[in-house]
Amino acid sequence: MAYLFANWKMYLNSAQADALMEDLGQVDLGSVEMAVFPNTLDVRKALGALRGNHIAVGAQNAAWVPQGAYTGATSAQVFADGGCTHVLVGHSERRHIFGENNDDVRKKMEAALDAGLTPVLCIGETKEDMEADKTMYRLKKQLTKALEGLVIPKGKLFVAYEPVWAISGSGNGTPCAPEKAEEVHHAIREEMKGLVNWDVPLLYGGSTNDENVVSYLSLECVDGVLVGRASTTADSLRNLIERMKSVS
């Protein structure tokens, strides 16, 4: 079994999202466990179109307050009431484009868990961090700030390692060498032992596609992938699923 979490970001217009959901509703997933993160307006449609194929639907971002005078925000509670089960928390684009810091991420983690959502905590170092040999320093800080002291029920958390420089579109789109991904995932797994008392599934993300997905999934510490661009067309998504089925 392997996880495929598809982060559609803001790539698709309404007609494209409809077509992709219709296609995905028909795909044979085999042992691939999938969740889709559409834009907020398409969440309800996704819940209807993907339920039959047992594909979970999550929010790309959620506000930490449940309700109130917060123009433009949608809370974790509202997503949960609407039928979402997952939420991305601390995605690199939220941190680096929208200025969210570790305190914001912590508040979102708490709100997501309070609402009964499963957070997918995204962590990753910048190119500058990497070049200054600060990868683990950055990741430990992100993990500790987000998780320390929280009691998280078994199965209610994923951690996605997404090096900022590896993300296509917002980063440099340089895929992370699988050996490096393994080394970092291993260190994350060790760090997680002091924070959560069960084995949290770890995902890799950053320029993943049908050609390289197997090299990440064969790593011991990688349980699945968080995919952006390559999950946004029917052909590339189907190819990705086929590749994943062949190794999971």
Catalytic pick among 91, 125, 182, 185: 91
Site for ligand PGA in 87-106 (CB under 6 A): none
Residue 220 beta carbon to ligand PGA: minimum distance, rounded to whole angstroms? 22
Please enumerate in sequence order all residues whose Cβ is within 8 A of that of 198, keeping only pairs 6 or more positions apart, or say none.
154, 155
Would you say 77 or 208 has its CB closer to ligand PGA?
A: 208
Shortest reach from residue 118's CB to ligand PGA, in Å: 16
Q: Which is nearer to ligand PGA, 200 or 227 (CB)?
A: 227
Does 224 sit near ligand PGA (CB under 6 A)? no
Q: Which is nearer to ligand PGA, 57 or 77 (CB)?
A: 57
Of the candidates 220, 205, 235, the residue with the CA atom closest to the CA atom of residue 4: 205
Least Å distance, CB 183 to ligand PGA, is 20
CA-atom Rg of the chain in angstroms:
17
Q: Does residue 206 bind ligand PGA (CB under 6 A)? A: yes
Residues designated as active site: 91, 162
Binding residues for ligand PGA, rule: CB under 6 A, are 7, 162, 167-169, 205-208, 226-230
